[in-house]
Amino acid sequence: MARGWAFCAACGLCCRDTEMPLTPRDVERIEALGYGREEFSVERGGVRYLRNVDGRCFFYEEGRGCRIYPYRPLGCSVYPVVFDAEEGRPVADPYCPMAPLVPERWLREAEPVLRLVLRQAGLGKRDKGEAAPYTRGETVED
Ligand code: SF4
C-alpha cells in the first residue's frame, strides 16, 4: 500500500486548507496521544474533519511537518492519492507538485483505503458530486 513516498517535495501544500475526513479510529488514535477531539477537528453534517488553524492543519508545524506523522489519519497516509468525488475514483491530487510521478499502481492500491475512509467517516453513501472530501476550496476552520 502506498503509505508516504520517497519523492515527497516536503512542500507542506498537502496540509494546507485540509478537508480530510476522519474515521472514528483516527479520532480515537489521536485522542490517545492526549489531544481533545474538539481541539484538532471540527464536525460538519455529522462528519468529523481535521481542523485548520491559520490555513494549515492543526497538526502541521512549519519546519517540522506533521506533529503526529506515525499516527496521522488514514486518509493522510495514502496522500497524494485522493478520492475525486466528481469522477468517483481515486486520482493523484493535482495540488501536489509531485502528482505526475504517482504510478497507476498507487491509485489502485489506495482506492479501497479511501473508500473505507469515506464509509467510516460517514461520507460513503452520498450521491456522486455531493461529497467532496478531498477537493479543496472551502476551508474547515473555526
Ligand atoms: S494530520 Fe499530519 S499529514 Fe494529515 S493534514 Fe495534518 S499535518 Fe498533514
Find out whether the beta carbon of 60 lies less than 6 Å from any atom of ligand 1. Answer: yes
Task: Give distance in angstroms: CA of 68 to centre of ligand 1.
Answer: 7
Hey, which of 3, 8, 18 would you mutate to test ligand 1's pocket, going by the most ligand atoms within 8 Å of its Cβ?
18
From CA 51, how far away is CA 94, in angstroms rounded? 22
Residue 45's SS3 state is coil
The protein residue whose alpha carbon is closest to atom 5 in ligand 1 is: 15
From CA 89, how far away is CA 111, in angstroms rounded? 7
Each residue's pLDDT tens digit in the chain (142 positions)? Answer: 444 556 678 888 889 999 999 999 999 999 999 999 999 999 999 999 999 999 999 999 998 999 999 999 999 999 999 999 888 899 999 989 999 999 999 999 999 999 999 999 998 754 444 444 443 333 334 3
Task: Give distance in angstroms: CA of 105 to centre of ligand 1.
Answer: 23
The reported pLDDT for the residue numbered 55 is 95
Q: Is the pTM of this model over 0.95?
A: no
From CA 11, how far away is CA 96, in angstroms rounded? 9
Hey, which of 11, 48, 57, 79 would you mutate to test ligand 1's pocket, going by the most ligand atoms within 8 Å of its Cβ?
57
The reported pLDDT for the residue numbered 5 is 58
From CA 73, how far away is CA 79, in angstroms rounded? 10
The reported pLDDT for the residue numbered 93 is 92
Ligand 1 atom closest to Cα of residue 76? 4
The reported pLDDT for the residue numbered 141 is 40
Instruction: List Cα–Cα distances, 114 to 7, 79, 101, in angstroms.
Output: 21, 10, 20
